[in-house]
Amino acid sequence: MRILLVSLLGLSGIAHAVPTQMGHQGRVLDADGLPAEGPHTLDFHLYDAAEDGTMVWSEVHDVDLINGYYSLVLGADELDNPLDDSLLRDNELHLELTVGDDEPLSPRQALNAVPYARIAASATNVSGGTVDASEISVGGSVVVDSSGGWVGATPSVSWSDLSDIPDDVDTVLSEDEVDAYCDDNGYAMAADLASVATSGSWDDLTDVPSAGIAGIHAEHFTESGTFDVPEGITSIIVYVTGGGGGGSNGEATTLEMDGHSHGVSEHSHEGGTHTHGIGDHAHQDGTECVVTSGSSYSGYYCSAYGPHYTEASSGSTGTVDDGATGLTGLTTNEGGGGGGSINTAGGDGGSGGGMSAILTVTGGAVCDVVIGSGGDVAGAGSSSTVTCDDQSVECGGGAAGNANGLNGDDGLCTIPGGTRLNEYKASRLAPGGGGSGGNGSDAATGQVGTVTIRY
């Protein structure tokens, strides 16, 4: 079994360039401590760890051992198997040697720096060579970034710092010289500019064509679909309203006409059980006037203090939706007629949200258009949306009206991306259905939403 007794490492190379090879010398003794002689194969490996780890480089040398000594150069093949700088820069290397077919010698030898070579880790001067750096810092602050741009402090230079200024140098242009400069270089004078150039107002434009300008073309949608953006168009204006909420039928409230009494002699009732403490009273039955307490009264009393109907001892209940008056009971303290209904007008449905906006588009893109539906009676409307690529406008539907007379809320609009222009009164295009009384004849559904696209 052979063992590595001595290993001396160094660098070799020509004088005017950084060496890319590494000199290596050593002596091989056998298991009895005697030097090996003659031809031997030495297999060198560099690992990134003292044990295990990853082999990052290897090279095989056939040598003649003389009294066990050998001397060779590692990295001799600079083209096909070089010792790259990155190996020495990025790894803590350990050399492993195998002699012939024996097991690798152990332990591995660490590659240590030659003492004066350590100063290369931090160069103190650069002279006569090329500097290739990712960035340059002074005093810990970057002055040249990775792109080669100057990012340090801006030098302050004052006109007064200049020296050797000629006496005939005129540093101020006259007004005529400025005008001449502008004229010679094609610059327009303010007086020569059109009004729109300074005001930026559409109203200052002249000779506006009737077609072919942005915004003159329009697509109107009352049903969901798609819109193909024409080639050359980079922005569109959209007007969106959500579906209106539905109006609500009013709510009828029943009145219970409970038993009651009166202290006057002459009166009439239109419903409910009642008693009389004093006085006479009349009941009308059809065309005949029937008088109590044995007195005979003319038809005047029958018409003036009626109608009290005699065909029921307890009245029937009026319906909830038509407000009919219940019939009146006759017998003292028995059940009277049912109450009629008081009609509360139902509330209007809310308007769908409305908004106008500018969306950035690409010619040939396809925009999706969804039209919001109007809410049924007492139902909410749905949203209308326009989606082009990653920009969209959504306007929610209006809420339903309330049966107790409360109007539904208007829908709200959102716009992820794009530029909002202004919110306009959506009820012009998507109002809710009208409210109604208790008879249910006036409630209405909300109108459907709308979408208009201009370009």
- Please write the tens of the pLDDT for every residue from 410-419: 999 998 877 8
Average pLDDT over residues 233-249: 90
Cβ neighbours of residue 83 closer than 8 Å, sequence gap 6 or more: 20, 21, 22, 57, 74, 75
Phi first, then psi: what are they for 12, rounded to 5°? Answer: -135, 155
| pLDDT at res. 297 | 41
CB 10 within 8 A of CB 114: yes
CB 215 within 8 A of CB 237: yes
Query: Could you give the 3-state DSSP secondary structure of residue 177?
Result: helix
> In this model, does residue 436 exceed pLDDT 60?
yes
Is pLDDT larger for residue 71 or for residue 197?
71
Average pLDDT over residues 329-337: 37
C-alpha distance from residue 26 to each of 23, 293, 325 (Å): 11, 150, 126
Cβ neighbours of residue 138 closer than 8 Å, sequence gap 6 or more: 152
Q: Which residue has the tokens 């030098």?
A: 155
Mean pLDDT of the chain: 75
For the ranges 98-102, 201-205, 295-299, 365-369, the maximum mean pLDDT occurs at: 365-369
Is pLDDT larger for residue 5 or for residue 147?
147
Q: In the chain, where does the domain assigned CATH 2.60.40 lie?
A: 3-120
Domain 3-120, CATH class in plain words: mainly beta
Residues 386 and 455: their CA atoms lie apart, in Å, by 14
Residues 59 and 66: their CA atoms lie apart, in Å, by 21
| pLDDT at res. 209 | 53
Query: Could you give the 3-state DSSP secondary structure of residue 192?
Result: helix
Q: Which residue has the tokens 């801006």?
A: 154
Is pLDDT larger for residue 326 or for residue 71?
71
- For 346-402, write each residue's pLDDT tens digit: 889 999 998 888 898 998 999 999 999 999 989 999 999 999 988 999 999 999 998
pLDDT > 70: what percent of the chain?
68
Cβ neighbours of residue 255 closer than 8 Å, sequence gap 6 or more: 339, 340, 341, 342
Phi first, then psi: what are they for 161, rounded to 5°? Answer: -80, -15
Average pLDDT over residues 23-43: 90
DSSP 232-251: T--EEEEEEEPPPPPP-PPP
Query: Could you give the 3-state DSSP secondary structure of residue 426?
Result: helix
CB 401 within 8 A of CB 407: yes
Is pLDDT larger for residue 283 or for residue 350?
350
> In this model, does residue 47 exceed pLDDT 90?
yes
> In this model, does residue 340 exceed pLDDT 70?
no
CA-nearest of 246, 443, 249 to 350 is: 246
Query: Could you give the 3-state DSSP secondary structure of residue 16?
Result: coil
- For 53-68, write each residue's pLDDT tens digit: 999 999 999 999 999 9
